Amino acid sequence: MLVAIGSDHGGFRLKEEIKLFLNENGIAFRDFGTNSTESVDYPDVSRAVAQAVSGGQYDRGIIVCGTGVGVSIAANKVKGIRAALCHDVYSAEMSRAHNNANVLTMGERVIGFGLARAIVAKWMSTEFEGGRHARRVAMIDALVE
Ligand code: RB5
């Protein structure tokens, strides 16, 4: 399991906390930035993480901004990416089990670090159930306008 992780300035501190969590749990990752709370444009880092996952070099992506919304919208523009904005543990679990989400997004200005850790733990450990959900995920992947 190899994780691509990134944030803008609004999500920098939570990204650093998630890196601690990944290290504590022996999960390998690469940090795609940003590296401080200095203002950057979130679509840039979101695209970098999403393309790293869609290209197959990384198994999953985690992206943080102030709300999680902007990076989620941007990541979902990348072919093959199913980014899920999750601020509760149940949604995080279902985004893996039913939606086969390959990117998790969160907002540093929305949730606390403890909840974010619990969300990442559940999201990382939940497998896709397949079956009828595989058909629906294939329908999502086929949605191109
Ligand atoms: C940055 O101020 C903020 O807009 C960004 O972190 C994110 O919340 C966008 O969706």
Q: Where are the domains of the chain?
A: 2-141
CATH of domain 2-141: 3.40.1400.10
At 132 the pLDDT is 97
**Residue of 19, 22, 21, 23 lying closest to 6 (CA atoms):** 19
At 145 the pLDDT is 73
At 144 the pLDDT is 76
CA of 3 to the centre of ligand 1 (A): 22
CA of 137 to the centre of ligand 1 (A): 28
Find the catalytic residue in 9, 65, 87, 133.
65
Q: Is 86 a catalytic residue?
A: no
Tens-binned pLDDT, residue by residue, of the chain (145 aa): 999 999 999 999 999 999 999 999 999 999 999 999 999 999 999 999 999 999 999 999 999 999 999 999 999 999 999 999 999 999 999 999 999 999 999 999 999 999 999 999 999 999 999 999 999 999 999 997 7
